[in-house]
Amino acid sequence: MPTTATAHTNIAFIKYWGKKDARLNLPTTSSLSLTLSQFYTTTTVTQNTDKDQLILNGELADPTRIHHFLNTLRDILGDFPAVTVTSENHVPTSAGLASSASSFAALTGAVTREMGFDLSNQSLSRLARRGSGSASRSFYSHFAVWHAGMDDTSSFAESLNAPDMPIALVVAEVSTAAKKVSSSDGMQRAITSPNYSDWLNSSATQFVDMQSAIQQSDIEKIGALAEENALAMHALNLTARHKPFTYFTRETQQILALVSDLRRQGILAFATMDAGPNVKIITTLNDAPEIVATLQSALPQIHLEIATSGSGIVYD
Ligand code: PMV
């Protein structure tokens, strides 16, 4: 019997940006994210007698990365047969979001169930971390924290018990013409920044402050902390001693300027960016339409979507 799992993507408000162990994907800092309802991956795992295969959005795709990850699971859990992984990504490239978080979470959930394991979300998050660090946070609804930990056992994500709040994210996809630097490569460069130890310190403080802001449903404080954290992350890329770079394009900068303008007009709007030029604007359900309208009229070529808080992993 095939097994199907659906996991949503997540956006880090306190970022993971650096590894202290690249093989185990142990991060240098703890991170915190919001799971998004609109963007998800549904993955079905079927056993086969041949070799690991990937069918992505209806087409045969290169299985190298998932084969490597499945072999890591085989080493940890004990050997299991070859599988066919059929994945539908509802994380449109047009939304400019990375799908690795939802993909590796859905795959981890589906393959372990298919092989007869009944694992807690905490155990699943440790396994998914080996495929993509941010995937560790995609098992949970609403807010999740990934504790950096000291070793494989202590580095896991869990749900943050948080009140419901009218938080929304405006996702602005800009041109992806800029050359892509993978997140692993970007992190390796960023840790060579002379500012890296300051980043570790400020991230630890922001991680604590962010949790208080969430408990108080203080969306303005959540946004302000997330923007500060994201800008510091991107400053590390610019100040890296080894191959400095930026993910920002001219449109990224234009959107950042519009976000500050909106704030001056009394709209709740704060920006966060990941390993690419797209901007996600943290706001309220109330203010989101006005942000969309402003960005759409200033930059008609960009694609905009409003996302809200999403659910944890589900199995069919
Ligand atoms: O999970 P990875 O290896 O794709 O790294 C994700 C890094 C960021 O998205 C930039 C930050 C984060 O915490 O998700």
The complex's ipTM works out to 0.99
pLDDT (tens digit, 9 = 90+) per residue, 292-304?
999 999 999 999 9
* pLDDT reading at 99 higher than 90: no
Which amino acid would we find at residue 152? D
**Residue of 14, 16, 136 best suited for mutating to test ligand 1, as the one with most atoms within 8 Å of CB:** 16
Q: Which of 281, 288, 277 is nearest to 259 (CA)?
A: 281
**Ligand 1 pocket, 114 CB below 6 A?**
no
Residue range 159-216, pLDDT digits in tens: 999 999 999 999 998 866 556 899 999 999 999 999 999 999 999 999 999 999 999 9
Residues whose CB falls within 8 Å of the CB of residue 238, separated by 6 or more in sequence, listed in order = 244, 245, 246
CA of 1 to the centre of ligand 1 (A): 33
CATH class of the region 167-307: alpha beta
Does residue 96 surpass a pLDDT of 80? no
Question: Any idea where the domains of the chain sit in the sequence?
Answer: 3-163, 167-307
CA-nearest residue, atom 6 of ligand 1? 134
Task: Give the pLDDT mean for 34-38.
Answer: 96
Distance of alpha carbon 131 from its chain centroid, rounded? 13
pLDDT mean over 287-294: 98
Is the alpha carbon torsion for 178, 87, 124, 36 positive or negative? Answer: positive
- CA angle at 277 for the pair 308 and 206, rounded to the nearest 5°: 60
Under 8 Å between Cβ of 207 and 15 = no
Residue of 20, 182, 183 best suited for mutating to test ligand 1, as the one with most atoms within 8 Å of CB: 183
Task: With CA atoms as reference, report the closest residue to 122 among 151, 156, 150.
Answer: 156
Side-chain-side CA neighbours of 294 within 13 Å: the count stands at 20
**Does 100 contact ligand 1 (Cβ within 6 A)?**
yes
Amino acid in the structure at residue 17: W
pLDDT of residue 265: 97
pLDDT of residue 1: 86
Mean pLDDT over 74-92 rounds to 94
Q: Identical fold at 3-163 and 167-307?
A: no
180 phi, psi to nearest 5 deg: -85, 135
Q: What pLDDT, on a 0 to 100 scale, did the predictor assign at position 266?
A: 97
Please work out whether the CB of residue 133 comes within 6 Å of at least one atom of ligand 1: yes
Q: Please state the pTM of the whole predicted model.
A: 0.96
State the pLDDT at residue 49.
83
pLDDT value at residue 174 = 87
Q: How far apart are CA 310 and CA 195, in angstroms?
A: 34
93 has a pLDDT exceeding 80: no
With the most atoms of ligand 1 within 8 angstroms of its CB, the residue from 9, 11, 14, 17 to mutate is 17
How many CB atoms are closer than 10 A to CB 67?
Answer: 17
Largest CA distance in the chain: 62
CATH number assigned to the domain covering 3-163 = 3.30.230.10
The percent of residues in the chain predicted with pLDDT above 70, rounded, is 97
pLDDT digits (tens, 9 = 90+) for 213-248: 999 999 999 999 999 999 999 999 999 999 999 999
